[in-house]
Amino acid sequence: MPKIGNIELGDFPLFLAPMEDVTDSPFRVICREYGADVLVTEFIAAEGLIRDAVKSNNKMRFEPAERPIGIQIFGENVESMMKAAEVAEAANPDFIDLNFGCPVRKIVMKGGGAALLQDIPKMIRMTEAVVKSTRLPVTVKTRLGWDDAHKDIVDIAEQLQGAGISAIAIHGRTRAQLYGGEADWTLIGEVKNNPRIQIPVFGNGDVDSGPKAEEMKNRFGVDGILIGRAATGNPWIFREIKAWLASHSIPPPPPVTERVGVVRRHLEASIQYKGERATLYEIRKLYSGYFRGIPNFRSWRMKMVTAASTAEVLDILAVIEKTEDIQA
């Protein structure tokens, strides 16, 4: 049974992969209720934590029901990452996660995220420094390498283990791929099956169903799986995957009333968490997922996306609940 430090995760844990402006606390709570075993915050800039920036501090907030949860930090300066880990530790998460995989240009150009894949010695120094600066377990999220010519993850994983991390999560793409093409799990499997690797190895990339999760588990032997884009507006994917792994059954899609209830809860909790303006903007990207597969829904989605207030969205949801031609 895999552990992060002394944290028991269950036989085959499903993680909600961190995604900027998606996996905030209100959405994480919902995913937990539908079966996510481990949660991680949106990534947080080390410099923002050191400067006590409001947005960075808000990203660290979580509810007791979200445990076990990790706070994910990123940065390009070793000392800043050490200080940020100390700030994150004070928020009392279960572990600290280091982001060495974000491929977004604005992050990479500043030397953070996947940029560290071009400077492995610095990545290892940074990891060692953070491990020494906190009493909490430290984990790493990264990629196969910088590009096809530098898929160095097998060696990188050994070095990170030597630096003291408690687990590693690997996205099956290079930084050069961004999110294009298919995720390649073969090197993730090589890391997991490397006899010198003694820490849990979690895989990430393109898992969007129970059968796909089972395939990755059986073919590559990973200790658990991260679900990212497939969970966007689709928290019930965790329930579906767990049902498939347990009994090869797939629960029926949630009815419209359940979906409306989840969106309503998400909206209301998010307003309390980050205010109406940010809520209205960020939740728009989730409507397609929340109502995927519902017939005759496109016009309703457009109304929700263009709504000028959350009160207007709530009014639209109330009508959707009673509209027969969009009932699943």
Q: Residues with catalytic annotation?
A: 102
Q: What letter does residue 193 receive in the DSSP assignment?
A: T
Question: In 10 A of CB 277, how many CB atoms?
Answer: 11
Q: Return the structure tokens found at 270.
A: 């998010």
The answer to whether the beta carbons of residues 200 and 232 sit under 8 Å apart is no
Q: What angle do CA 281, 286, 291 make, to 5 degrees?
A: 135
3-state secondary structure of 288: helix
39 CB neighbour count, 10 Å cutoff: 26
State the Cα–Cα distance between residues 307 and 305, nearest whole angstrom.
Answer: 6
Pick from 39, 50, 148, 118: which is nearest to 90 by CA?
Answer: 50
Count how many Cα atoms sit within 13 Å of the Cα of residue 292 in the half-sphere of its side chain. Answer: 14
Give the C-alpha distances (Å, rounded to integers) separating 138 from 16, 50, 94, 126, 165.
17, 19, 9, 12, 5
Q: Which residues contact 272 (CB under 8 A, 6 or more apart)?
A: none
- 74 alpha-carbon distance from chain centroid: 14
CA distance linking residue 294 with residue 310, whole number of Å: 22
Q: CA-to-CA distance for 58 and 24, rounded, in angstroms?
A: 9
